[in-house]
Structure 1
Amino acid sequence: MSSVAVLRLPLSVDLAGFVKLLQRMQVPHRVSEDAGEQVLWVPDAISEDVRVLYQRFPAGDPDHQLDIPAQQATKRPGFVQQLRHSPMTALVLLLSMIVGAVTMLGENLQAMSWLTFLQFQVVGEYIHFTSLADSLAAGQWWRLVTPMLIHFGILHLAMNGMWYWELGRRIEMRQGSINLLGLTLLFSLVSNYAQYYFGGPGLFGGLSGVLYGLLGHCWIYQWLSPNPVYHLPRGVLVMMLVWLLLCLSGLVSMIGFGEIANAAHVGGLVAGCLTGLLGGLYNRRKQAL
């Protein structure tokens, strides 16, 4: 069933209430951004009905005036459908799982040595790192970003994967797959280098630096250029920022979570806030023209 653009509205218009109404009514839909506007897509067969519904309830139905049967509760899109709309998000997670399997979640040091920020060799009980300059001179530029695919333990991979799935899909839906890939690589580069610069040579990895970049991007972008796709529940934002502070305090490491790449988290967050600032201001300017 083909979809059509039933509404084209400025980014300043809050569609969250109307989207919730469509979810209550089990109306298939998605919201994207195009040329400085937010676009609501629905199946062609019901497009006129949705237009009429928006004219009557532009803010949704917060007081539940409409008598919608209980069995028409919100139904999330199927997993296959979500994958179809989020191919880049799925690809990054797939690569992380493949790398997790090959490296045995940090146990296979030989496999890890191809993806770590610094190349290393194990001599006896010691690890000898090659300098960054020597690695780059040898053409191993991929090392600047590939540590994001390395994870140490199933919990590490599962938690990072869950949050990347949540945040990555938002950016891919609004800004497209190429922009998500670019932001992911940028945040990986910044967070990895920050961890190396402030923490020195060492084994570090994971998507967490990228996640804080995506969080900062959505947070500031949404603040400057509101859109329901980027609207994060306040509890999610507070929880991740509190977790960052706990990690910085050293408490998380003390209770047995291992060493935390704090510099990577902070570096990713700062980079994400900056890209969110630039993107949000750009969209506000387009909207004003």
Structure 2
Amino acid sequence: MSAVAVLRLPLAVDLSGFVKLLQRMQVPHRVSEEQGEQVLWVPANISEDVRALYERFPAGDPDHQLDIPVAKTRTRPGFVEQLRLAKATALVLLLSLIVGAVTLLGENLDTMHWFTFLDFRVVGEYIHFTPLADSLAAGQWWRLVTPMLIHFGFLHLAMNGMWYWELGRRIESRQGGINLIGLTLLFALVSNYAQFIFSGPTLFGGLSGVLYGLLGHCWIFQTLSPNRAYRLPRGVLVMMLIWLLLCLSGLVSMIGFGEIANAAHVGGLLVGCLTGLLGGLYNRRKLAVQNRM
């Protein structure tokens, strides 16, 4: 829910009593100082109620005359409830599990070739790749995004699935399931094509390029238009960026983690930062217009 400025008062006005009243009523709010004024921000859907409350109780309720019921303690939703609130996130993970099962996590080449960026056939000990143009001419456009569903090993699937569940739910709760699916497909397209351009005809897959896109989107969006959903712990952001640098250095491959799709990671991060920039600027402008109304 976007926040709007409901009150703009001189710094000399004592707002502490009213803030305490809002705290007792468990009303989401924050106070900032801007251009010599103190500004009270609340969710847009309750702005008129808060403004009316201030007109009646500008000093708050120091004598506790108002009968404010104690709110029930919010409990963390169970797993089923989380699934209901994150249908799009769960759908992508379910598809990843299904593809992981039918491809035996990369071991079954007879089924995996339907999901790879380039179609291929195995001849003896060699893999012969079909040019991308031929596959697209045959109507196999899904290949541009389906490599994100391929995973090579249980650990690969588990780690990518865990991070997609964490980042995907944040975006779905803030921008909706349709936008999450759209961003996921965009990040998959860009990261897959970047990896193809960089490495040529090879087998690659995984959600990691999409994950770096989601990370970049949340990071830049939150920087430009702060909101609780995209507020990532600084340690998470630093860890993901350090991991990217370690992968680019070649150290991760040297210690036995296999070949890393570095171009997919970088491509995903860059396009994610771009969508975060556009989304953050749009949301900040929308809030500015609402505040002037």
Give per-residue Cα distances to partners, 1:202-257, cap 9 Å, x unaligned: 00000000000000000000000000011000000000000000000000000000
TM-score of the two chains, using structure 2 as the length reference = 0.76
Quick one: which of 3, 17, 20 aligns to 1:9? 3
SS of 1:76's partner is coil
After TM superposition, where is structure 1 displaced by more than 3 Å over at least 4 residues in a row?
A: 37-41
Match of 2:63 in 1: none
Displacement of 1:38 in angstroms is 5.3
Match of 2:130 in 1: 130
Return the alpha-carbon distance in structure 1 between the equivalents of residues 269 and 44 of structure 2. 29
Greater RCO, CA 8 A, separation 6+: 1
Paired residue type of 1:244: L
Displacement of 1:10 in angstroms is 2.8
Displacement of 1:287 in angstroms is 1.1
Give per-residue Cα distances to partners, 1:129-160, cap 9 Å, x unaligned: 00111111111000000000000000000000
Structure 1 residues 230 and 260, CA gap change in structure 2 (3 angstroms): same
Paired residue type of 2:255: I
Match of 1:196 in 2: 196
SS of 2:232's partner is coil
Match of 1:84 in 2: 84
Match of 2:153 in 1: 153
Paired residue type of 2:223: W
Displacement of 1:288 in angstroms is 1.3
Displacement of 1:39 in angstroms is 6.4
Displacement of 1:84 in angstroms is 0.6
Structure 1 segment 55-204 matched on structure 2, within 5 A: 75-204=75-204
Match of 2:265 in 1: 265
Return the alpha-carbon distance in structure 1 between the equivalents of residues 187 and 2 of structure 2. 31
Give per-residue Cα distances to partners, 1:72-99, cap 9 Å, x unaligned: 6x74210011001000000000000000
2:3, 2:287 within 8 Å by CA — same for their partners in 1? no
Structure 1 segment 204-283 matched on structure 2, within 5 A: 204-283=204-283
Return the alpha-carbon distance in structure 1 between the equivalents of residues 241 and 227 of structure 2. 22
Root-mean-square deviation (CA, aligned residues, Å) is: 2.8
Paired residue type of 2:228: P
Tell me the matched-pair count: 239
Return the alpha-carbon distance in structure 1 between the equivalents of residues 93 and 148 of structure 2. 10
Structure 1 residues 40 and 247, CA gap change in structure 2 (3 angstroms): farther
Structure 1 residues 38 and 106, CA gap change in structure 2 (3 angstroms): farther
TM-score of the two chains, using structure 1 as the length reference = 0.77
Paired residue type of 1:246: L
Paired residue type of 1:9: A
SS of 2:122's partner is strand
Gaps of 5+ in 2: 6-25, 29-41, 59-69
Return the alpha-carbon distance in structure 1 between the equivalents of residues 219 and 201 of structure 2. 32
Give per-residue Cα distances to partners, 1:95-135, cap 9 Å, x unaligned: 00000000000000010100000000000011000011111
Structure 1 residues 152 and 8, CA gap change in structure 2 (3 angstroms): closer
